[in-house]
Homo-oligomer: A and B are copies of this chain.
Amino acid sequence: MSLPVLDGDAVRRVATPRLVLDATRDALIAHAHGRTTVPPPLHLEFPEADGDCHVKAGRVDAGPDFTVKIATGFYRNPAAGLPANHGLVCVISARTGRVRAVLDDGGLLTAWRTAAAGALLTHAMARPDATTLGIFGTGEQARLQAEWLARLRPIGTVLVHGRTPDRARALCAELTALGLRARPATDREAAAADMVVTTTPATTPVLRADHVRPGTHVTGIGTDMPHKNELPPALLARAALIATDDHQQCLDHGDFGHAVRAGAVTADADTPAGLLLETPLHRPAEAVTVADLTGVGAVDAALASAVLGHLAEREPEAG
């Protein structure tokens, strides 16, 4: 049998928001309970081309499949008219070791599970009556975080803060086209929203802790390397609750780690994000809460399994 390769269109046909949200939530819960396996990743560096490659594997224990995800970043590509990032996901049976499929989806499922995880945690941790959403950043995740959160709760206004005014305006136009109310905002305005999501590659904090109002929830999804940092340690020091999607990763290369190294919080100050998706959160109305999300490899496996399972149901010849 020839190896099935699923491109972005094939994934788009079956990966409904419901499927992505369910798989992401279930996998985050399994991860919080230690029912996942995520071995140390494999790295290659290509200094002569300003490139790198990361290979990450993950599985939900007792799940039908595991995934091996290859992601490359070659940062001189854009100057040559090529995307900086490439990669693919191999989905392999955890029962037989057979490669079930290769997902050549241009990172679509990774982007969606990142959006789903951010939306799930923001929704679970924000006040029930929170309505305004502050977004830092103007890239793909800035759009997706607003779009996916709107699937879980009504949003009053989206306040978009970006360093480049044109890009902030363009994102507002995109969000408006999706049926949301959105306008460009200063950093102070965006930080003063009821819910705040940071989606930037910043290396110094993008908002000031004293601009965040009591009762606000803040989710950071951009910090994925030790030198990156979006949320100030003072904000985490103020937080009544800090959720991390993976304790060790967030300590190593998340905003939580920056706060720990700054002495603002202790290394045991976090709660596994998945636990907050299991039972409704009782939060004091004036509390500030923070979610630090660095991406969990087991979520990729759960999502790929769900997509293949759905595909096998709908298109038996393709499974």
Contacts and interface: CB of A to CB of B under 8 A. Distances in A.
Interface of A: 2-3, 5, 7, 37, 39-44, 46, 48-49, 51, 53, 55, 57, 59, 62, 66, 68, 70, 72-74, 77, 80, 82, 84-88, 90, 92, 94-99, 102, 104
A44 B66 contact: yes
A87 to B, nearest CB: 7
Contacts of A95: 49, 51, 74
12 contacts: A3-B7, A5-B102, A39-B44, A42-B42, A44-B57, A51-B96, A55-B68, A70-B92, A77-B96, A82-B96, A85-B97, A86-B92
A95 B2 CA distance: 29
Contacts of A104: 2-3, 99
Nearest to A43: B39
A216 B72 CA distance: 47
A90 to B, nearest CB: 6
A187 to B, nearest CB: 33
A41 B68 CA distance: 13
Nearest to A103: B3
Given A3-B7, A39-B42, A39-B44, 15 more contacts: A2-B5, A3-B5, A42-B55, A42-B68, A44-B57, A51-B97, A55-B68, A68-B68, A68-B70, A70-B90, A70-B99, A72-B97, A74-B97, A86-B96, A102-B102
Given A3-B102, A104-B2, A53 B97 contact: yes
A170 B27 CA distance: 50
Contacts of A57: 42, 44, 53, 55
Contacts of A2: 5, 7, 104
A96 B74 contact: yes
A183 to B, nearest CB: 37
Nearest to A72: B97
A296 to B, nearest CB: 15
Contacts of A55: 42, 55, 57, 68
Contacts of A96: 49, 51, 74, 77, 80, 82, 86
B98 A86 contact: yes
A256 to B, nearest CB: 25
A300 to B, nearest CB: 13
Contacts of A39: 42-44
A94 B42 contact: no
B41 A42 contact: yes
Contact of A99 (B42, B59, B87, B94): B87
B98 A82 contact: yes
Nearest to A82: B96
A99 B103 CA distance: 12
Contacts of A70: 68, 90, 92, 99
